[in-house]
Amino acid sequence: MKKTWIYILVIVVVVIVLIIALSKSEAPKQPEGEGVVPEGQIEEMSEQATSSISLTEMTPVEGYQGYGVLGINQSVGGNKLMVGGVEYEKGLGTHAISEYKYSIDGNYSYFETDAGLDDGADCGGNVAVFAIKGDGEELYRSETVETKQTAIHIRVSVSGVQELSLITEDGGDSIDCDHTDWLNPVLIP
């Protein structure tokens, strides 16, 4: 009878040792901050973007402009983006009157950009206006911006906005030389 108990005890010990050995070999420790996302958090994470994105990397869902075609990282004239003597690597080169719509699905908190009239065109004192809409509602409207003027800086809240529109207008004179540039346009989570 005593022997039977010893056998049982030995078997139990062996099983425990095996379980410990297996658990150590099968589950390497995940580094902190990485690994599997707990269920229930996945949906929340896909709704809110986790990093900023340049609009130059997105395709507008629709758009038009008064002259030429949309320049990605170049002016409507096909040159490097330059406003007020400052060169910009990234931006959208448009021409008033223009509107470009981007589907952003409520994923971002802010839209930030510089804007101005490209140095590549100068009719002498011509002006334009920059405006931004979110789901049809105006979020921003600039004063008239003049050729050779330093770029203006814009930051607007886009929380909950599904569709973002970038608009340029002729400023009341005409669309002549209105090479309207959006410079470093970035969506921020």
- Residues in contact with Ca ion by CB under 5 A are 126, 128, 170-171, 173, 178
Q: Cβ of 35: how many Cβ atoms within 10 Å?
A: 9
Tokens standing for residue 45: 């994470």
What pairs with residue 180 in β-bridges?
Answer: 117
By beta-carbon proximity to Ca ion, the closer residue of 135 and 176 is 176
Nearest distance, CB of residue 47 and Ca ion, angstroms: 40
Nearest distance, CB of residue 170 and Ca ion, angstroms: 4
Which residue is at the shortest CB distance from Ca ion? Answer: 170
By beta-carbon proximity to Ca ion, the closer residue of 88 and 130 is 130
By beta-carbon proximity to Ca ion, the closer residue of 104 and 127 is 127
By beta-carbon proximity to Ca ion, the closer residue of 163 and 173 is 173
What pairs with residue 62 in β-bridges?
Answer: 101
Tokens standing for residue 108: 């971002």
168 in Cβ contact with 180 (< 8 Å): yes
Nearest distance, CB of residue 150 and Ca ion, angstroms: 18
Nearest distance, CB of residue 128 and Ca ion, angstroms: 5
Rounded CA separation 114/83 (Å): 10
3-class SS at 70? coil
